[in-house]
């Protein structure tokens, strides 16, 4: 991650180390509490065993999430998102290495949310809309998709699936995004940094039910790439 002339990024969102530590310690901490309660006679040994069984699964899940966030934080130097004079830095990816996009690649920053699958609620997201000429832009995808649809090697099933996925909102399609997990998104400070370093790049906010409209087109892009790699 680069810094500006003042020596620090004008906007930086870091992983919350305290939250990560609490998640990792949740399992051992629960075991200690149950042991203490059993030892002082607040609960019986049998009750302690049953309580341990009840909390074991959520404890393991919480610890696993905490470890994953710890590795993600270490991989990106503790930075989840940063904006400076050179572009925007995404360090909060779950699996891939951190990525940076320069301002000449980006046509818009998109703030949106999506509904979570297992627990009712939403998770905030930050994404970028790339310029039509940039690799990974929806325009480049449409060019590749049209070439694939015109190819005689495409099966009827593949053609039907690609045609079904062809319609999407081209203007605000999100080329890349990260989810706000283990760190905070601060829209006011983010907008201030954008006005300072990229005043020509708009910050667009979309409602949570627009998630699939924004990122759904990438399923067609991935399918197009898979189809083309299978051709002789």
Q: Which two tokens stand for residue 3?
A: 């810094």
**What would the mean pLDDT of 174-189 be, rounded to a whole number?**
90
Chain centroid to Cα 171, Å, comes to: 21
Per-residue model confidence (pLDDT) at position 118? 62
Stronger pLDDT, 61 or 201, i.e. the higher one = 201
Q: Is the pLDDT of residue 171 over 90?
A: no
Per-residue model confidence (pLDDT) at position 90? 93
Contact 110, 127 (CB under 8 A): yes
- Report the sign of the C-alpha dihedral through residues 186, 189, 195, 198, in that order: negative
Model pLDDT for residues 51-93, shown as the tens digit of each residue: 777 777 887 888 887 777 777 777 768 889 999 989 999 987 7
Per-residue model confidence (pLDDT) at position 232? 67
Those residues whose C-beta lies under 8 Å from the C-beta of residue 15, and which sit 6 or more positions away, are: 69, 72, 73, 76, 78, 79, 80, 92, 182, 183
Q: Is the pLDDT of residue 101 over 90?
A: yes
Model pLDDT for residues 107-143, shown as the tens digit of each residue: 999 999 988 766 667 889 999 999 998 888 988 888 8
Per-residue model confidence (pLDDT) at position 103? 94
Those residues whose C-beta lies under 8 Å from the C-beta of residue 199, and which sit 6 or more positions away, are: none
Per-residue model confidence (pLDDT) at position 2? 45
Per-residue model confidence (pLDDT) at position 119? 60
Q: At what angle do helices 217-230 and 156-164 cross, to 10 degrees?
A: 160
């Amino acid at each position: 991650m680069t810094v500006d002339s003042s020596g620090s990024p004008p906007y930086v969102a870091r992983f919350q180390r305290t939250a990560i530590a609490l998640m990792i310690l949740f399992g051992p901490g629960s075991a200690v509490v149950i042991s203490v309660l059993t030892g002082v006679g607040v609960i019986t040994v049998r009750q302690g065993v049953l309580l341990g069984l009840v909390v074991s699964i959520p404890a393991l899940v919480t610890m696993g999430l905490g470890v994953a966030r710890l590795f993600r934080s270490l991989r990106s130097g503790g930075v989840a998102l940063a904006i400076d004079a050179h572009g925007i830095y995404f360090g909060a990816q779950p699996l891939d290495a951190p990525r940076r996009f320069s301002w000449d690649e980006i046509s818009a920053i998109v703030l949106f949310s999506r509904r979570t699958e297992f627990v009712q609620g939403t998770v905030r997201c930050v994404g970028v809309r790339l310029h039509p000429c940039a690799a990974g832009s929806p325009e480049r995808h449409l060019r590749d998709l049209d070439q694939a649809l015109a190819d005689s090697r495409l099966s009827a099933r593949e053609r039907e699936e690609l045609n079904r996925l062809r319609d999407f909102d081209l203007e605000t399609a999100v080329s890349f995004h990260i989810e706000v997990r283990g760190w905070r998104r601060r829209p006011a400070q983010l907008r201030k940094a954008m006005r300072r370093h990229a005043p020509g790049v708009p910050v667009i906010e979309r409602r949570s039910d627009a998630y699939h409209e924004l990122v759904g087109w990438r399923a067609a892009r991935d399918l197009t790439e898979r189809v083309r790699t299978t051709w002789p």
